A and B are shown apart, each in its own frame.
Chain A
Amino acid sequence: MLSQKKRIQNMPTKKQLYSVWESQFEFFGGSGQPKQNYEGSSEDNGLASLKRNDTPIIPQNLSAVLDGEKIGTVSWNTETNDINILVSKK
């Protein structure tokens, strides 16, 4: 069950702001600099910010997934016309 003492706080409080500052700095190099394209930065994309064509500086590193440990397989299910993810055969 919830602790009442803890339950009353959420956002925005100073405590949460600190946590945001810390994580935004750690993951994106800071939240105040107009160079990132993530939520909360000055280049962030809200509902209508798509009026701009910002280029994210985070590398669109989809190729990262081309390397890695094989943990399962993906195949085509002809009955359902769906992709199916299967566990690795032991």
Chain B
Amino acid sequence: MNFLSRFFMVIEGQNDAYPNYHSAKVHLVIEDPSNLFYHNSFICSPIFPLVDKGYQHLPEIKEGTRITFLMVPSILPTFFDLQNLPDTGNKMFFSLGLANLIIIEQDNDDKFSLSVIANLKNKGNLTATESWLIDKNNHISTSLNSSSPQHILHHVNAGAEHCGVVLSSKLSLHLKFAVSEYIISVNKLITASKKFSPHYFEKHLKTIQVANELIYDLSFLNLDFSFTPTEALLNSLGVASKEEAIKLLESQTPLAKVEELINDKHGMIIQFNSSLSYIYSQAYSGTFPIFDHIGIVRRHSLLGLGSAIGSLFELLLQLESALVKLPFESIIDTSYGTSFVPDNFLTHILDPSTFNSELWKKDKVRPQVVGVDLNKSSDQALPEDFYNRLSFFSGRLGFREYEFSATAAIQVVVESHTLPWHIINYTHEIIHNHVRILLNQLLLVANSNRNNQTYENWLTYYTNNIRTIFKGSYTASAATNLTYRDYFITVLLKFILNSQHYGSLSYASNKKTVNDMRADPDKKIDYLLPAADKIKDLIKLYYKDVTEIFVHTIDYCYIYNQQPKTYLTSIWTSWSTIPAVINDLKQYIVRSMIIVGLSTSGLVNNRFEQTLLQFKALVAEMKDLRKTVVFDRILNVLSDSEEVMDLRFRFYNCIIVGDLVYNFFIGRLEGHLDNQDLNVFPAGLKDENENPISYYIKTNSFEGQPIRSKVRFLLDQLGREVFKEKVEEGDDLVERTSAWLLLLLSSNEEQ
């Protein structure tokens, strides 16, 4: 007899309508819901057996069946204990909703569920329950003496919430509409959060309090001076105080900038409203009473995706709370802002082909900033104005991030543990915000941080550094004036200028000049320093390339623990699903080669050769394991000498930025990333097949200590997927494993 790992709970309504408590008819089916034909609209959710081996027979639904839905915030060791109760296989199931535990009992006997509820309540690990007794014809009993349906909130933290924002009468109607939507959506979110995810309520509130400032700024710009503008708005208006801003806004001359700022704030509010709509409809659908909140992801329309959202949010919480410990909020206040680079640092970056990162590795100032054990820092508290972003899934947006939220591709819901859609890809998006903060201090330095100089004037100092390198007149005395931060800016600027010949991540090397020079070795091509306004355009153009090199390097070091095979297998199997990658394959090859190249040493031209060999070997290995066309295409590129020459020059230029991040911006976060998780194994351990393992909990098991380090657990799970032998798995097991991974990640350990 086959064991199955998934069934669907389908609730059918009456009279062509969606169900309510009086019309609901309960079905448990194995078929995909898209293949079901009922006379009425229905909602459904996949349900997974709690026991590892699956179930043999669908639970019966008949008169006297009792179905209890429980919201259990902390999964381990609770689910392991539940798994080991007698007869669990026929009674206990899990889902991806906030109601993540489901108990099905027969013969109107609720002793089992009542004892589980009492036990969970006793441990403070139960948010709410809903219970249905099944009547005749699989309908939910609603008779007065049946205690069905029954909804109980097992904590006192309830009541409608209000974000405190007032709709300004000065706004025009379309802006009023946006703000009104914002206020109602936010109120709805925080009210639901308080009721059904009380462990996240304070965090959600903090995010909303920060987002509220968009409304304050928008209202202020529309001449409602009862609102206080943010410092960002004052800076953008070029004024020092609210009073000055009022004077400016009241002046008769219409300011284009004011209109642009209104559009900007309006755009951000619309974007945030859209995020709220996603989050509410995914996280809080299926909360109690269940039929009050029908989800719009059809496969999960009964119980929603609250636990799946929880998995994203928990990852985000751990990473953002760790990254906050790094000393880069104000680079200028670190030794990078106060110490001067040695006099050979500038000339060192003249010619990429002779660059050697050893000089940076041996630097004496670097350890003062990134060598500090952040786990031993005396101040471990989060800053007062710290907030977390919100998480949700999106089919349209895929993996993407914004100032207030970060999304994961919807495919993660069913395949979070498979390589192409692995949830670990979400970490890349979380890190983007960290990089944005870094680059805000290095490239896109805002007016208020330039002492109100024009950007072009601000750039002059750095272009002069570059001019000086080329004049060969760089002296020790000049070096003493150059701080590390200024040097970093100069290095990034040089990367951008080098791109005119060498290319970059997304731009090819200059084939024409290379061919001209190869044809005539005496030929010399000009290296040009454009005017400052042109450089500003180039910075904007190459900002994305710089960003991606930063993010890849940081992601590789912190999340993937510098394991090149795991990292490359992960990103390439993910990229192989994206058409645009195939169309711009060399960009992605360069991204990969930067990662491989980080651990090579010597002159860059030698490093390229080492990197090329290593990368080829890794691709060949990946090709053997995964039959994906992209690996053949990569090998084709790597066997074409003209293509390799282009890759070579792009690598020369880009690896310097990678080295910059690797040497100067990777801090000692390991303590925060390990987070005293007792499941973490010491380095170097291997399983019976000689594959590396780093974490106690096995795939699809609930046995282990609470998961305090989501990222370490995730990396181990990814590694098991990378190294496991390919075996055919049914969809039900794939989806159950995915749900298991999301459920464990969602476990909140602050109970």
A31 to B379, CA, bound (A): 33
A-B pairs with beta carbons under 8 A, tally = 315
B28 within 8 A of A: no
Query: Whole-angstrom distance between the alpha carbons of A26 and B500 in the complex?
Result: 25
A52-B580 contact in complex given A42-B271, A46-B428, C-beta closer than 8 Å: yes
Q: Mark B408-427, 1 if CB is under 8 A from A, else 0.
A: 01000000000000000100
- Residues of the B chain whose Cβ atoms lie less than 8 Å from the Cβ of A67: 528, 530-531, 534
Tell me if B264 and A6 are in contact (CB < 8 A): no
Contact in complex: B529, A71 (CB < 8 Å): yes
Taking CB atoms, residues of chain A closer than 8 Å to B210 are: 14, 17
Q: Which 9 A-B pairs have the closest CB atoms?
A: A32-B268, A32-B267, A30-B264, A18-B232, A76-B517, A68-B528, A50-B580, A68-B530, A64-B534
Is there an interface contact between B433 and A12, defined as CB atoms closer than 8 Å? yes
CB contact under 8 A between A85 and B527, given known A17-B232, A53-B580 = yes
Q: Are A83 and B263 in touch, CB under 8 angstroms?
A: no
Query: Are A30 and B501 interface neighbours, CB within 8 A?
Result: no
Interface size class of A (residues with CB under 8 A): 35 or more
Chain B residues within an 8 Å CB radius of A55: none
User: What separation, in Å, do the CA atoms of A90 and B235 have in the docked complex?
Assistant: 44
Tell me which residues across on chain B come within 8 A of A19, comparing CB atoms: 232, 437, 440, 446, 448-449
Given contacts A2-B369, A22-B236, A30-B264, contact A46 B401 (CB under 8 A): yes
**Chain B hits for A50, CB < 8 A:** 575, 578, 580-581, 584
**New A-B contacts (5) at CB < 8 Å, excluding given A23-B444, A23-B446:** A7-B377, A30-B263, A32-B266, A32-B267, A49-B397
Q: Per-residue CB proximity of A49-81 to B under 8 Å, as 1/0?
A: 111110000111110111111111111111010
A52 to B398, CA, bound (A): 10
Q: Which residues of A contact B (CB under 8 A)?
A: 1-4, 6-34, 37-40, 42, 44-53, 58-62, 64-78, 80, 82-88, 90
Q: Are A6 and B329 in contact (CB under 8 A)?
A: yes
CB pair B432 A71 closer than 8 Å: no
Chain A residues whose CB sits within 8 angstroms of the CB of B429 once the complex forms = 46-47
Interface size for B (C-beta < 8 A) is 122
CB distance from B636 to the nearest CB of A (A): 20
Q: Is the Cβ of B445 less than 8 Å from the Cβ of A39? A: no
Which of the residues A15, A51, A61, A65 comes within 8 Å of B579, measured between beta carbons? A51
| 17 A-B pairs (CB sep. < 8 Å) | A8-B381, A16-B437, A17-B232, A19-B440, A20-B440, A25-B260, A27-B540, A31-B267, A45-B544, A46-B429, A65-B528, A71-B529, A74-B501, A74-B526, A77-B353, A87-B469, A87-B471
Pair A13/B230 contact, Cβ less than 8 Å: no
Q: Report yes or no: A33 in contact with B267, Cβ–Cβ below 8 A.
A: yes
Minimal beta-carbon separation of A14 from chain B (angstroms): 4
Question: Which of A8, A48, A66 is in CB contact (< 8 Å) with B383?
Answer: A8
Among A9, A29, A30, A80, contact of B353 (Cβ-Cβ < 8 Å): A80
- What is the bound-complex CA distance between A44 and B401, given in angstroms? 8
Query: Of all chain B residues, which has the CB nearest A29?
Result: B260
CA distance A10 to B544 in the complex (A): 21
The answer to whether B472 touches A3 (Cβ under 8 A) is no
Q: Is there a chain A Cβ closer than 8 Å to B6's Cβ?
A: no
Using A40-B401, A68-B530 as known contacts, say yes or no to A90 and B472 having CB atoms under 8 A apart: yes
Q: How far is the CB of A62 from chain B (nearest CB, A)?
A: 7
CB pair A12–B386 under 8 Å, yes or no, is yes
Distance between Cα atoms of A38 and B541 in the complex (Å)? 9
| With A11-B434, A48-B398, A76-B517 as contacts: A65 and B409 at CB distance below 8 Å | no
Contact stretch, chosen from B60-68, B185-193, B319-327: B319-327
Say whether A9 contacts B383, CB under 8 Å. yes
Contacts of B326 in A (CB 8 A): 10
